[in-house]
Amino acid sequence: RVEHLFKEIFKSALDVQEKEQRKALLVSRKKKAEDTVVEVNGERIGDGKPTFIFGPCAVESYDQVEIVAKAIKEKGQKLIRGGAYKPRTSPYDFQGLGLEGLKILKKAAEEQGLAVVTEIVTPGHLEEALDYLDVIQVGARNMQNFELLKAVGSTNKPVLLKRGMAATIDEFINAAEYIIANGNDQIILCERGIRTYEKATRNTLDISAVPILKQETHLPVFVDVTHSTGRRDLLLPTAKAAIAIGADGVMAEVHPDPAVALSDAQQQMDLGQFDEFYDSLMKFMKQYEMNR
What does the DSSP assignment read for 74-141? HTT--EEE-BSS---SSTTS----HHHHHHHHHHHHHHTTPEEEEE--SHHHHHHHGGG-SEEEE-GG
Query: Would strands 159-162 and 43-45 be described as parallel, antiparallel, or unpaired?
Result: unpaired
Of 51 and 238, the one with the shorter C-beta distance to its own copies is: 238
Stretch that binds its own copies, among 31-39, 129-137, 184-192, 278-286 (CB under 8 A): 278-286
Q: What angle do CA 215, 137, 47 make, to 5 degrees?
A: 40
- Interface with its own copies (CB under 8 A), residue from 207, 270, 271, 275: 207
Site for its own copies in 103-142 (CB under 8 A): 121-125, 141-142
**Residues 64 to 93 in contact with its own copies, rule: CB under 8 A:** 87-92
**E strand or H helix at 66, and its extent?**
helix 62-74
State the minimum distance, in angstroms, from the CB of residue 62 to its own copies: 26
User: Using the rule CB under 8 A, which residue among 37, 99, 212, 271 binds its own copies?
Assistant: 212
Alpha-carbon torsion (196, 88, 93, 225), positive or negative = positive
Phi (first) and psi of residue 194, to 5 degrees? -120, 160
Q: Does residue 13 bind its own copies (CB under 8 A)?
A: yes
According to CB under 8 A, which one of 37, 99, 245, 271 is a site residue for its own copies? 245
Q: Does 145 bind its own copies (CB under 8 A)?
A: yes
Q: Does 148 bind its own copies (CB under 8 A)?
A: yes
Q: Based on CB atoms, which residue is closest to its own copies, 61 or 266? A: 266
Which is closer to its own copies, CB of 114 or CB of 178? 178
d(C-alpha 93, C-alpha 238), whole Å: 29
Is 62 among the residues that bind its own copies (CB under 8 A)? no
Question: How many residues contact its own copies, by CB under 8 A?
Answer: 77
For residues 157 and 186, is the Cβ–Cβ distance under 8 A? yes
- Fill in the per-residue mask, 166 to 205: x = in contact with its own copies (CB under 8 A), - = not in contact: x-xxxx--x--xx--x------------xxxxxxxx--xx
**Calpha distance 243→46 (Å, rounded):** 12
3-state secondary structure of 49: coil
Q: How far is the CB of 60 from its own copies (least distance, A)?
A: 18
Q: Is the Cβ of residue 104 or residue 169 nearer to its own copies in the bound state?
A: 169
Say how many Å lie between the first and final Cα of the chain, rounded: 46
CB-based contacts of 201: which residues, under 8 Å, 6+ apart?
A: 193, 228, 229, 230, 231, 234
Q: Is 99 in the site for its own copies (CB under 8 A)?
A: no
Q: How far is the CB of 226 from its own copies (least distance, A)?
A: 12
